[in-house]
Amino acid sequence: MSLPYTGGCQCGQIRYEILAQPLTLYLCHCKECQKQSSSAFGMSLTVLRDAVVIVQGKPKAWTRKNDRGREVNNLFCGDCGTRLFHERTYKPNTINVKAGTLDDTSWLHPVGNI
Ligand SMILES: [Zn+2]
Ligand SMILES: [Zn+2]
């Protein structure tokens, strides 16, 4: 796969590009990720914060605390509700992209399950 990777929400109002190779991809089976994805697990593609550019639209955000009590900003499309990104305020240099929102998911190979 060649850069940039492109993706967006389900309704197409928000579009983003990833400009650098992701750092890792993992599947998380915690209760929060099950709720968020309404599925068995959530996919997190960790990317350098500066390498993710929103090229169309403006995500909405809400903040929750994770199981260690640290803040996570959850960014989503205000029109269709698709979850796009998780910003961990305690790790400001990276952002977790919800990998199912990529246009091409065929190349995704998770390194592990947590
Ligand atoms: Zn949308
Ligand atoms: Zn989780």
Quickly state the pLDDT bin for 104 (edges 50, 70, 90): very high
Question: 65-79: per-residue pLDDT in tens?
Answer: 988 899 999 999 999
Q: How far is CA 10 from CA 46, 67, 84, in A?
A: 20, 28, 10
Cβ-based neighbour number of residue 98 at 10 Å: 23
Q: Is residue 1 pLDDT above 80, yes or no?
A: no
The ligand that comes nearest to the alpha carbon of residue 78 is 1
Q: Is residue 61 pLDDT above 80, yes or no?
A: yes
Ion ligand 2 — residues with CB < 5 Å: 28, 30, 33
The number of C-alpha atoms within 13 Å of 42 and in the hemisphere containing its C-beta is 22
Q: Give the chain's mean pLDDT.
A: 94
What is the pLDDT at residue 114? Answer: 87
The ligand that comes nearest to the alpha carbon of residue 31 is 2
Domain spanning 5-102, CATH class? mainly beta
Quickly state the pLDDT bin for 62 (edges 50, 70, 90): very high
What is the pLDDT at residue 6? Answer: 98
